[in-house]
Structure 1
Amino acid sequence: MYYSINTAKSTGKQAFNTDVIKFYYKMTLLDGTKLDSTAKSLGQLKGMVWGATSNILNLPISFLKEGESGLFILPSALAFGGNSYTDIPAFSVIKLEIEVVSIRTEAEQLKDFQTLYKITNPEVSVTGLIFKKLVENPKGAQVVVGQSVKVNYTGRFSYGVLQNDATSGKLIYDSSFNAGTFTFVAGTGAVIAGFDEGILKMRVGEKAVLIMPSKIAYGANGNTTIPPNSPLYFEVEVVGAL
């Protein structure tokens, strides 16, 4: 691999496993054919959990500290090899331009959620769950263990992931990873521990924010949607409990 660091910062933070890296990048063939990119003008940062997956970006980013940018030329053996895709011929040399904007630990991400969504004076439990009611309903029935609970929810990462915008139909980087309505039995392990804990603090008709460290979310294993070691943010509403 050939590379050049354009803005070296000797005091910049280096990424470690489980850190979240937010960056801009542009991927092209040597003839200039654009393969993929983020839109810096729109602030569309890409994010990923360092060490969670193996991909073409890992090696170049390992040479960059927070605040640095670089140009990288990857031989096919370090890129897509003999595989061919719509715009990528087999054995293609790949050019990457990358700017690392931030590197955040899990603890920093939990604080970032509170700052971004203006969550002040939350309740913090011994498990690390950060809980804040947005809408209270003192007359609503308290959720208890064993009840069938119906909730509306939106789940978010601390960074954007590429997805289709339902309104415009365009590809955008957005922090939400799932949203909808579902029913589960409270307090029985049917959902992740942090979600269970938060819902059991609520009454029917209430809305709240649940911010949870990865240890009470999907942990070191993650799942098909959630990368390992991901702290998560949920906006939830208890619709009913029977």
Structure 2
Amino acid sequence: MNKSIIWVFLLGIVGLISGCMSGGSDLEQLYQANENTVIQYGKDKGLTLIKDPNSGVYYYKTVTNATGRGAAQTELVKMFYTYTKLDGTMLDSTTKTIPFGLSYLTYSTILNTPIALMKEGESGVFIFPQTSQLTEPTILTVKFVSTRNETEQIDEFVKTKYAGLEVVKTSTGLQYVITKSTATGDLVKSGQTITVSYTGKLLYPTKKRDSNGFYIYNETFDSGSISFVLGQGSMVAGFEEAVSKLRLGDKGTFVFPSSLGYGQSGRTDSSTGAYTIPPYSPMNFEIEVTAVK
């Protein structure tokens, strides 16, 4: 995918501004003034800024790793970042200990731009003359921690989460461990109404707001109790397959790829539009069967 197209689509700065202008408009002049401000900022700080021809962003790397791995589309990228104005006013940041997880190039975010210019292990400073959110220059300071495809994410998770346990893997890619077993009765069957208690998690912490409006980081996206008829497709395929491995009273922990979950679309909060499950995200469920009819 062409980076200039991505940049125009996601942030609407260089290409969008020039494409919408038919001469020396106020907006075009504002962008040029912002670009001059960025160039002067670099001179004042003694920085050797590189201008990326595709995005129009100015940047320099503080740590390089030329042989490092670059991110591929849909991979989970983990990073630390701060986002500020030129005067240092803080706009957003990660914690110092928990990296931010991003499904690279699968939805609109300003963070796609530095990742396109970096490799694992690198750090850099990226100065945007203008974005669709702000008409003044802003700075992203980024440390690129890692990039992993879905198979790698699941393998690393299972190796850590299920260490020393007997892991079962099915032909669909579901992996699981039965953590509590009744050892009697039959497995639940298609057509039965199953009631389960569950907790749904991603394989990494995500940034969200708690009930008081404060930012927190955790893996959980949903929990509760639900009844459904097994086999009617009312739940995602991975969840239904997971439940089918249990008896009444059984409890297990299950991990499965996004192809058995929400795939390339992910799932959004209907009130905010924010992703509760990003695109291409494997999921982990803890499930207990509490009733069968």
TM-score by length of 2: 0.74
Partner AA of 1:157 in structure 2: L
Structure ID, larger Rg = 2
Query: Distance between the aligned counterparts of 2:115 and 2:237, measured in 1?
Result: 33
User: Please, which of 79, 86, 111 is the counterpart of residue 30 of structure 1?
Assistant: 86
Pair 1:115-2:159 in alignment: yes
Tell me what 2:127 maps to: 73
Pair 1:142-2:197 in alignment: no
Q: Note the 1:197-208 alignment, pairs <5 A.
A: 197-208=241-252
Deviation at 1:188, TM superposition (A): 1.4
Deviation at 1:152, TM superposition (A): 1.2
User: Please, which of 189, 207, 218 is the counterpart of residue 162 of structure 1?
Assistant: 207
Partner AA of 1:150 in structure 2: T
Tell me what 1:124 maps to: 169
Give unmatched runs, 5+ long, in structure 1.
84-89
Aligned-residue identity in percent: 38
CA RMSD of aligned residues (A): 1.7
Tell me what 2:36 maps to: none
Deviation at 1:156, TM superposition (A): 1.4
Deviation at 1:48, TM superposition (A): 1.1
User: CA-to-partner distance for each residue in 1:5-57, whole Å, 9 max, x for gaps?
Assistant: 111101111000111001100000111110111111xx221101112111111
Query: Distance between the aligned counterparts of 1:151 and 1:129, measured in 2?
Result: 18
Query: Distance between the aligned counterparts of 1:111 and 1:222, measured in 2?
Result: 21
Tell me what 1:228 maps to: 279
Tell me what 1:49 maps to: 103
Give unmatched runs, 5+ long, in structure 2.
1-56, 269-275
Tell me what 1:104 maps to: 148
User: Please, which of 205, 219, 222 is the counterpart of residue 178 of structure 1?
Assistant: 222
Contact 1:212 1:231 in 2 (8 A): yes
Partner AA of 1:135 in structure 2: K
Partner AA of 2:84 in structure 1: T
Do the aligned partners of residues 38 and 229 (structure 1) sit closer, same or farther apart at CA in structure 2, a change above 3 Å counting? same
Q: Note the 1:208-219 alignment, pairs <5 A.
A: 208-219=252-263
Residues 12-21 or 153-162, more deviating: 153-162
Task: Provide the secondary structure at the position in 2 that maps to 1:6.
Answer: strand
- Tell me which protein shows more helix as a share of its residues: 2
